[in-house]
A and B are shown apart, each in its own frame.
Chain A
Amino acid sequence: MFEGSATVVSSDDETLVVLARAGDQVAREELFRRHWDRSYRLAKRLLGREEDALDAVQDGFLKALNHLERFDGRCEFSTWLCRIVQNAALDLGRNRSRRTNVGLKVVTANGEEPEKLDDPSVGLVNDDLRMELDAALARLSPSLRSAFVLFAESELSYKEIAEIQGVPVGTVMSRIHAARQKLQSYLSRRSDL
């Protein structure tokens, strides 16, 4: 897709970062091509909506590629980029949910949230497992959702997730466990999982 030179394509991320910092456009393109898919999957899992995910990936890459001098090499470039895309996605999710969901939280008489989301479109596609999974993920707190997605979708190590979230490895494992319990509990009520 790109017209990158063979040298650039075969280089590791750190070399590409050095070249990109010096203004090498092919190196920038190669960094994008190499990390695009993982960044997209991360954002899509965190946000659910396709348009939001693409916006978050765009924001994340813009921040990363325009501030490459801030990458200090203490972690993998992919980890550094994951953190930026994750933050972009969470920021975007916060802003959009704040815009659309203000005053729409519904609770039952006993104070619990109803199982079905308020969005009618969710009810129309109740059999769609992907939508169910997205809805279940959306119910998690940002820290739990992010920890689980970084673990299950981005396939980062506990240590890398701990670096991204700024918490100890033990906390990461607790978050993954808690997230999985909530997800499986929610989905077991919604389907035969």
Chain B
Amino acid sequence: MRCGEAKRELSVSRGERSAELGAHLAHCESCAAWAESCERFDALWDATRPVATDQAFASVWNRVTSAGSSRPARAAWLRFAPRVLAGTAAIAAAALFFVFVAFHSDRPVGVGGFADSHQARPEIVRLVLLEEGQTPIIDLEKHEVTRVNSDDDDSLAVNLDEPKLSSIDNLVLFNAFEAMAQ
């Protein structure tokens, strides 16, 4: 038996030794010293073996039970969470789509809704109540109705080709004329 093999066997054995190892140790001082070192180390290992207290036992068990009691519910929730979230997202997306389609389908292209414009530029919108036969005069620079003419007044002057006419102007015009008497 070679010294390397002997030392390796001594390292991994739990007290039992083969006859071949015993014979080797009888005439090899180096391996005998290694065997003695292993025995001292094993004695130190046994002498320092950790001992758990009852207090530690109870403490850890309490932590395990308290954490474990809430964990199954959480795990169950997590198991279904992706499906619940995906379903909710799909329903929300579908709802938004239908709202969008319903809101935009009955309106001329390029003309925003009154509510939209009111939110975007609330300072330029002013409610004007028109009676039958009245005509609004709109200041396109100020984006507001400056005057309301009666039926016999022919001074209506709204220039739809105004270069600065924007969608919001269109909106004001659209809503204003919508309010006019047919």
Contact = CB atoms under 8 A, between A and B. Distances in A.
Interface string B32-53: 0000011011101101111010
Contacts of A37: 52
B41 A57 contact: no
Interface stretch (A9-17, A58-66, A73-81, A109-117): A58-66
Contacts of A184: 37-38, 41
B49 A61 contact: no
Given A66-B71, A184-B38, A193 B44 contact: yes
Contacts, number: 81
A57 B56 CA distance: 11
A44 B14 CA distance: 21
Contact of A193 (B41, B67, B75): B41
Contacts of B68: 62, 65-66
A40 B50 contact: yes
A176 B11 contact: yes
A32 B61 contact: yes
Interface stretch (A87-95, A96-104, A119-127, A151-159): A151-159
B2 to A, nearest CB: 14
Contacts of A151: 12
A54 B12 contact: no
A80 B91 CA distance: 45
Contacts of A133: 44-45, 48
Given A54-B56, A151-B12, A173-B8, A41 B50 contact: yes
Interface of A: 1, 29, 32, 36-37, 40-41, 44-45, 50, 53-54, 57-58, 61-62, 65-66, 129-130, 133, 151-153, 155, 158, 173-174, 176-177, 180-181, 183-184, 187-188, 193
20 contacts: A1-B58, A37-B52, A41-B50, A44-B52, A58-B63, A58-B67, A66-B68, A66-B72, A129-B47, A129-B48, A130-B48, A133-B44, A133-B48, A151-B12, A152-B42, A158-B12, A173-B8, A177-B8, A184-B41, A193-B44
